[in-house]
Amino acid sequence: MEELTPRIARQDRPEGPAVGLLGSWTAGQLTLPGVWKAVAANLRALGPAAPAGWDLSALQSLDHLGAQLLWNHWGRRWPQRLEASAEQRALLERVARFACTPPRAIRPGLVERLARLGALLAGMLDHLRDITILIGQLLLDALRLVRAPRQGPWRDVSGHLYRIGATALPITAMVGFLIGVVLAYLTAQQLRQFGASAFIVNILGLSLIRELGPVLAAVLIAGRSGSAITAQIGVMRVTEELDAMRVMGIARGFRLVLPRVLALALAMPLITVWTTLAALAGGMLAADLALDVTPAYFFTMLPKAVKAVNLTLAMSKAVVFGVLIALIGCHYGLRVKPNTESLGRGTTASVVTSITMVILVDALFAVVFKNVGI
């Protein structure tokens, strides 16, 4: 195998120093793991002032990839001295004839940068306009529902509640339980050093009920259900179902957006409570194993350590998270163009935007209500 590996050997000749090539300079050898980097490093080591003589007579074989590599290293010029067979010269001449000079990177000027900035601002304004229209239409649909509740899309709300809420219980419980275990073990390592094991109830209760429970549930629902909302509405755009609804006079806001917003607004507080309970169970188990804090003590101290207003704050955040996730999912779903590439981009943008908005809104709640329940 050694005789086939592309290698470079320096040679001293009466007419001057030269470079001899050995092995097989073909795609089959050059693309082996590590070979291309080694050959490129050896060529770079020759430097710009490389010897003017090159000897290709000892090569086992040479193909277009090897010839192109040599031609690029020579600076797309023939060396002063070249020993090669007729076939090798013909191959090199063919590469030299058809090789294209790589385009130089053109740095954008001031006008191009301003144009890009303008396009970015125009896109942001377009999103802002569409989301404003969506929110306004949602408020009008909500008033319509209040005036005629019997005509509301309750069957759609029920179906979305099941798909968004009931089917998400296993994954949210598992993730919440594991987060509780990890948080309890990490906290126990620090509390044990100061003899403050009893305060693990305060730390776990406040952090899980007030912050981690709602945020964790919202992030999971944003990745799971928010993407599904965008994909469902986007597929309806691709299959022209949205156009058919408009032709038939069916209000897509009342039939598509409102049920999903109501379902997520109702499901998110319940999922938050479920996730928080699973996380508390995991933390309680880990506290019992790591610090000998019994579940009875945990249950006794938790109501004293965490005020009820923290649960109210968590439920309020959960409702806001649910409405935001539903609106963002519907917004990107309605903006999908009738092609699969746009559907994929819209789904990805929906998940990223939903998670970002959840974190931003949670930070806003933390700043505004910093003195509540602490």
Please report the pLDDT score of residue 102 as a whole number: 58
For 198-239, the pLDDT digits (tens) are: 778 888 888 888 888 999 999 999 998 889 999 999 988 888
- Give me the tens of pLDDT residue by residue for the chain, a chain 374 residues long: 456 788 787 777 777 777 878 778 788 777 777 777 887 787 777 765 455 678 787 787 888 787 888 777 777 777 777 778 888 888 888 888 876 665 565 677 778 888 888 888 888 898 899 899 999 999 998 999 899 888 888 898 999 899 888 899 999 999 999 999 998 888 887 877 777 777 788 888 888 888 889 999 999 999 988 899 999 999 888 888 888 888 888 888 888 899 999 999 999 999 999 999 999 999 888 888 877 778 888 888 888 888 888 888 999 999 999 999 999 999 999 988 888 888 888 899 999 999 999 999 999 998 888 887 67
Burial environment of residue 313 by CB neighbours within 10 A (0 to 12, 13 to 18, 19 or more): buried
Please report the beta strands in 27-113, taking only residues with DSSP state E, as ranges in sequence order. Answer: 53-55, 59-62, 81-83
Q: List CB contacts of 323: < 8 A, sequence separation 6 or more.
A: 261, 264, 265
CA atoms of 241 and 244, how far apart (whole Å): 5
- Contact 8/19 with Cβ under 8 angstroms? yes
For 2-52, the pLDDT digits (tens) are: 567 887 877 777 777 778 787 787 887 777 777 778 877 877 777 654 556
CA nearest neighbour of 269 among 224, 322, 193: 322
CA atoms of 55 and 95, how far apart (whole Å): 18
- Contact 58/21 with Cβ under 8 angstroms? yes
Please report the pLDDT score of residue 57 as a whole number: 77
CA nearest neighbour of 141 among 252, 260, 258: 258
CA atoms of 314 and 210, how far apart (whole Å): 5
Tokens in use for 158? 């029920």
Tokens in use for 326? 């539903």
Side chain identity at residue 73, one-letter code: H
Side chain identity at residue 360, one-letter code: L
Number of C-beta neighbours around residue 309 at 10 A: 13
- Look at the block and give the residue holding tokens 């897509």: 252
Q: At what angle do helices 213-221 and 169-194 cross, to 10 degrees?
A: 150
Distance of CA 292 to the CA centre of its chain: 40
Tokens in use for 360? 């931003």
Single pTM value for the model? 0.69
- Contact 230/350 with Cβ under 8 angstroms? yes
Terminus-to-terminus CA distance in the chain, angstroms? 71
Tokens in use for 309? 């207003």
Please report the pLDDT score of residue 49 as a whole number: 46
Burial environment of residue 107 by CB neighbours within 10 A (0 to 12, 13 to 18, 19 or more): exposed
Which helix (H) or strand (E) segment holds residue 220: the answer is helix 213-221
> Domains along the chain?
2-98 (3.30.750), 153-368 (no CATH)
Region of residue 199 (left: phi > 0; alpha: psi -120 to 50; beta: else): alpha
